[in-house]
A and B are shown apart, each in its own frame.
Chain A
Amino acid sequence: MRDLFIQASYLAASVMFILGLRMLTRPDKARRGMQLAGVGMLFAIVGTLLNHTIVDFRWIIAGLILGVIIGYPMGTRVPMTAMPQRIALSLTLSALAATLVGVAEYYTRMAAGTPPDRVTMTALGFEIMLGCITVAGTIVAAGKLQEWLPSRPLTYKGQNLLNGLVFLGIIALLITVIADPTQQWAFYSMIGVALLFGTMLVLPIGGADMPVVVALLNSYSGLASCATGFAIGNVILIISGSLDGSSGFILSVLMSKAMNRSFTNVLFGAFGSEPKAVGAKSSAGMSVRSIGVEDAAIQLAYAQLVIIIPGYGMAVAQAQHAVRELAELIEKRGGEVKFAVHPVAGRMPGHMNVLLAEANVPYDKLYDMDEINGEFDRADVALVIGANDVVNPAARSDKASPIYGMPILNADHAKSVIVLKRGMSAGFAGIENELFYDRKTSMLFGDAKASLTGLIGEIKNV
């Protein structure tokens, strides 16, 4: 009877999770959907607490209380601008929990003198391997995103070879422990080697590639939960883990497609480690046209359609509120404003959308690349704010360019382009951007937030 209740609570939870994610396909229903998923989580927890193998509640209660104390500020206090590292950190936590459960399970079985059979050992092995890679990888990713670690790629000679050897080492240990589950040394050294590998895997990856990596680690952490489910024979772990895993997988595929790069290239390419602008056209002999705030304001004030292209620079300058104010001002004067969001703009999938939504930009003004690209021909001004590679026409035309083939926003199709930029440094990929030298482009140099505030003031006076 009790078992039946537990299983029913798990089934209910699974249905609510899936429905919750399903409702996430529509922004107006998404919030209710996630509340539903939260209720599902509560069901699953209550169901588990009825499990007859649980005999001692002291540590559980202490853990739950401590978890709430830590989790609550992590939910309420973290600013939206810190979301990429927050997401990386939450991956660390879920992978850590999965790993510890796996270690506890293995230890208990060994201590009781009943080593796991090979099938269970396979599940445990994958759980530990993926869990440890995710824990170490997400900590490094979070460190880079928070800029505790240098966000540029850290590379050295023979890196890929060394990484490959370490990975082979993990596989060898995994096979050893599956072949003979009593080989405890192999099990415990796998933890260490997997942690090392996770660190080495993410260290060479640069800030702009983070969306792919975070999504990929997301899928690893989901698979680790799945493996936990197999190891301890728990179906809800398998279901939730595979939901998490497929979401991470889909996102990482979408992200790498949006950069026209393969997985392997992101993981082993260390893009941007050689800022030599390989084969790309050099800037020699070309000149940029700089513009003042007054002239830019006049262009914007009389535009019928302005398309704003936000990039990571907007996030760095914390300029999203000023952007919204500018957009409202232009609209008040009768112009139309749309936002064009490139899939890899920022440091995680959907980064720009969240920042702009926080600044109260209505979501029906935020457009994906495919939705907006046809409209640039009609736009009077394309306003590029802290974006670079995602508007570089070299991706379309210059076969020698490292970003050739990457889908870009057609900013160069607009009648005029205004670029807000701090200086003439190249983008993350270290590639010169022809758009900046285009005749219809004007550069408004300076801190994005200061420039926007200046523009707002000027437009009010026009």
Chain B
Amino acid sequence: MSSQLLELYVFVLAAFTGYMVITRVPPLLHTPLMAATNAIAGISLVGSLIAAGAAQNRVATILGFVAVVAATSNIVGGFIIVDRMLKMFKRDTGPAKQPPAKQPPSGA
């Protein structure tokens, strides 16, 4: 039970950290943000690898295998696409200008 309680602590603190960090992402980058968190969500690969490799029974291995394929393609495709997207965001190449001060979304 105590380890599960500890997991609950981790969950709450991580959600809190996520909230603090993500509210500061400017609307300009909201699509890359979605793509990025989706790529990071490919972390379910970790669980998939264990299911696919633990050799417990045929069903778990096959489900794990499919999960590995899904999660891996999500990670690979996701990180490539985020990089492609972020590469496109360029500053004005003209005379150096201060970028507009981006306000974090208020009241969120």
Contacts and interface: CB of A to CB of B under 8 A. Distances in A.
A27 B89 contact: yes
Contact of A45 (B23, B46, B54, B67): B46
Given A104-B63, A239-B14, A244 B70 contact: no
30 contacts: A21-B18, A25-B26, A27-B29, A48-B46, A51-B50, A60-B68, A63-B48, A67-B72, A68-B72, A90-B39, A93-B74, A97-B67, A100-B63, A101-B47, A104-B60, A218-B34, A225-B44, A229-B47, A230-B7, A235-B10, A237-B43, A239-B14, A240-B43, A243-B15, A244-B18, A244-B38, A350-B30, A354-B88, A357-B90, A364-B99
A49 B48 CA distance: 11
A341 B27 contact: yes
Contacts of A233: 3-4, 7
A67 B48 CA distance: 12
A243 B86 contact: no
Interface string A55-93: 111011011101110111111101010010011001101
Interface in B71-98: 71-93, 97
- Please classify how large the interface on chain B is, using the bins under 10, 10 to 19, 20 to 34, 35 or more: 35 or more
Contacts of A71: 72-78, 80
Contacts of A362: 90-93
Contacts of A101: 44, 47-48, 51, 63-64, 67
B11 A247 contact: no
A54 B54 contact: yes
Interface stretch (A141-149, A275-283, A365-373, A445-453): A365-373
A226 B11 contact: yes
A108 B57 contact: yes
Given A31-B87, A226-B11, A244-B37, A97 B31 contact: no
Given A71-B73, A108-B60, A100 B66 contact: yes
B65 A76 contact: no
Contacts of A358: 88
A53 B21 contact: no
A433 to B, nearest CB: 23
Nearest to B106: A370
Task: Determine the main DSSP class of A at the interface with B.
Answer: helix
Given A71-B74, A354-B88, A357-B90, A104 B59 contact: yes
A12 interface: no
Given A53-B54, A94-B70, A362-B92, 13 more contacts: A38-B79, A54-B53, A56-B61, A57-B53, A59-B61, A93-B74, A112-B56, A221-B41, A242-B18, A243-B14, A245-B15, A350-B30, A353-B27
A228 B80 CA distance: 25
Interface residues of A, number: 116
Given A62-B65, A363-B90, A98 B34 contact: no
Interface in A207-257: 214-215, 218, 221-222, 225-226, 228-230, 232-248, 250-251, 253-254
Nearest to B75: A41
8 shortest interchain CB distances as A-B pairs: A67-B72, A75-B80, A63-B68, A71-B76, A350-B30, A71-B73, A74-B77, A54-B53
A409 B9 CA distance: 42
Contacts of B27: 254, 341, 343, 349-350, 353, 368
Contact of A241 (B41, B60, B69): B41
A44 interface: yes
A48 B40 CA distance: 15
A14 B18 CA distance: 11
A136 to B, nearest CB: 15
B76 A104 contact: no
B6 to A, nearest CB: 9
B43 A41 contact: yes
Contacts of A349: 27, 30-31, 33-34
Interface in A186-220: 214-215, 218
Q: Which of B24, B41, B45 has its CB near the most chain A CB atoms (within 10 A)?
A: B41
